[in-house]
Amino acid sequence: ASFLLLCFRSPLLTPLIFGLLLQAPLIQLSTITQPNFVLLLADDLGIGDVGCYGNHTIRTPNIDRLAKEGVKLTQHIAAAPLCTPSRAAFLTGRYPLRSGMDAVNDYRVIFWNAGSGGLPPNETTFAKILQQQGYSTGLIGKWHQGVNCESRNDHCHHPLKHGFGYFYGMPFTLISDCQPTETPEMDRAFRKKLWLSTQMIGLITLTAVLGRLTGLISVQWKALTCLTVFSLLFFISWFSSYGFVRYWNCIMMRNHGITEQPMVTDRTTSLILRESISFIERNKHKPFLLFLSFLHSHTPLLTTEKFLGRSRHGLYGDNVEEMDWMVGQVLDAIDKEGLKDTTLVYFASDHGGWLERQEGERQLGGWNGIYKGGKAMGGWEGGIRVPGIFRWPGVLPAGTVIDEPTSLMDIYPTVVHLAGGAVPQDRVIDGWDLLPLLRGAVVHSEHEFLFHYCGIHLHAVRWHQKDTGAIWKAHYVTPIFSPPGAGACYDRGFCPCFGEGVTHHDPPLLFELSQDPSEAKPLSADTEPLFDTVIRNIGRAIEEHRRTLTPVPEQLSVSNVVWKPWLQPCCGTFPFCWCDKEGDN
């Protein structure tokens, strides 16, 4: 009593005590068992596209509300700059090359539903562990981790084989080929070469036949027949896949069954939202994990009429604003069911915005704010620094901003720990449990080094020097922008990882990100006294990291990514694959 009297007599302590009494206390984690998880992952969304990350022209009030009510991460890093490898890392908590989900060639993502590559069955996703802990687990939206291995219905890479008890969405990814009115997007340059080759072979064949008929060329009919058959087989060999991309790749599934082939894009958004809310309502009386993997904001930017023309950034801005509205609908569903205080909500993007995605004067890709580069660039910040927001009322302090290096791979151990599970001990897990950092129990992230890959090629390394707070980043390989100085590879459509389209740096380019987040001013031994020390420390970290890598089958090898007709998911009798089971709903 005498202590309290002394405190209230002190003019300095009195306001402090009243402030502590007025502030809502954080709940002890020991009183909460198995919270719900709603993981919201955008597709191709740039960090500069969101209001709470500095965009003042695209309206994202619901995402901004998440940040206001929760914790915003300003240095949240994707493990890869493209969909397939980034999502593999997100699901497994491991760099994608550990599971064979990063590329040795130019095919850096899953290219076909009928390819044989995908997330290996021996990988343990966080969904699988939560399912073992008694959770209802659901994936709504994009998968892009493969479907089959050896036969059309083995579904060895399917979400239901990786711990999700319910799946509704695209086993592939949204592409412009899914929209009949849009210019084809998939392998566009290669398809042009195939068309040109077909025309040349056809012209040669026709010239030879006409020459034989007119007597100008002396050639046997047997040889002409063989040439004609070759021309026809060459055309069939590629047109049977690329000529029907919309039917082969643009499909919707519910669990193991196909519901739409091809998908009816006009209703995709409403169906995904309906399925997400329905999953929450069905599972409100038991712990659940909902992974809502948005098709927004990937081209062709499916946007309902209600949102067309609303933003100041054309179709792309309209699409982002619609996704934000969807986030709001999901949050409202959580509130309606009284689950707000027992649900951890997470929002992020799988990688940076696609700068090169343009059609004429239309910019169809995202914006990465002050950060250099974008999608497909493994080293530059614009390709890998993404929004990262957590909300859990009463557990995580509202309105908190954390400027520490974190990774999408950290979701794995964080979610597993909160669900009462244990991460696998028979493999390397690269993510760290974020809860102590999010709650303010620790000041620094557990990440000392982060390795930034482009395919299997190490492009850059980040070193968080915790004693000084410096964040060093060394670039060993960077893409060559085209045109020069443009900030992206507009002439190619994507920046490459290796070959003539990159520059190797020895010594590496070095930046101090806390002072130069835009990576505009590379340091040197002449301008930075610690240059040699930093490069040596990063070099030792690379050697240690490489000792943890073990050879695994390459899931994105050419033999695994090519279209195989016997693996093609089909809701009819192949090749007559067509159905619409949502049409009556």
Task: Give the residue numbers marked as catalytic.
Answer: 83, 144
Distances from the Cα of 417 to the Cαs of 34, 341, 376, 436, in angstroms?
Answer: 9, 18, 32, 12
> Measured at the alpha carbon of residue 383, what is the angle toward residues 172 and 535, in degrees to the nearest 5?
130
The SS3 assignment for 50 reads coil
- 573 forms beta bridges with 576
> Measured at the alpha carbon of residue 289, what is the angle toward residues 283 and 290, in degrees to the nearest 5?
85
Three-class secondary structure assignment of 238-302: HHHHHCCHHHHHCCEEECCEEEEECCCHHHHHHHHHHHHHHHHHHCCCCCEEEEEECCCCCCCCC
| DSSP E strand boundaries for 337-456 | 343-349, 358-359, 362-363, 385-391, 400-402, 406-407, 449-454
> Measured at the alpha carbon of residue 60, what is the angle toward residues 54 and 66, in degrees to the nearest 5?
90
331-337 long-range contacts (CB < 8 A, ≥24 apart) are 331/62, 331/65, 331/66, 333/276, 333/277, 333/280, 333/281, 334/38, 334/280, 337/280, 337/281, 337/284
Buried b (16+ CB within 10 A) or exposed e, 518-546: ebeeebeeeebebbeebbebbeebbeebe
